[in-house]
Homo-oligomer: A and B are copies of this chain.
């Protein structure tokens, strides 16, 4: 039964992601991942040094997808030149894609990692911080352009930029708590408030 090694790695990652999304990272075991992926312990340790290494690979996959989504959103506003329209259209872009599976996977995996101090200490969270910084930089530029360098009293462009990540993650937790979808609605609340700041 020869198996393609890359395919096996991907099967392990997909099974691990399902378990982490369902039970949290702390409750996910190597044995559980091996069983759920229908592979073997030997195959697991061929691809991953251990559970922390698996966590790094899971977060790397999601972080790469998030960097890709950011690039796609920036591409989508490239034809626009008016700074206010560029900022508001960027925000609207995510409202439209808020209820996709990727959004939920990303929010949940980040949260699972950030509740485990040892994953923060061993550097797995660094990839999340890199996503935060990329989004902060892109949004800060859009915000500064929209405010023509003069934001309303008290508003700091970087902190307003961070509010996007905050809204995304907070809305995901609200959805998880209540069992209702909240992401699109909360992104919309933020966009309407930013619109009020601009007028």
Contacts and interface: CB of A to CB of B under 8 A. Distances in A.
Contacts of A125: 177
Nearest to A22: B117
Contact of A163 (B23, B159, B190): B190
Contacts of A22: 117
Interface stretch (A5-13, A34-42, A76-84, A165-173): A165-173
A27 to B, nearest CB: 4
B186 A163 contact: yes
A174 B169 contact: yes
Nearest to A199: B196
B26 A159 contact: no
Contacts of A168: 170
Q: How large, as a class, is the contact surface on chain A?
A: 35 or more
A115 interface: yes
A178 interface: yes
Contacts of A185: 156, 159, 162
A154 interface: yes
Contacts of A111: 111, 114-115, 173
A155 B189 contact: yes
Nearest to A117: B22
A171 B166 contact: yes
A20 to B, nearest CB: 9
Contacts of A154: 188, 192
A71 B100 CA distance: 37
A149 interface: no
B174 A162 contact: yes
Interface of A: 22-28, 108, 110-112, 114-118, 120, 125, 128-129, 132, 152, 154-156, 159-160, 162-163, 165-171, 173-174, 176-179, 182, 185-186, 188-190, 192-194, 196-197
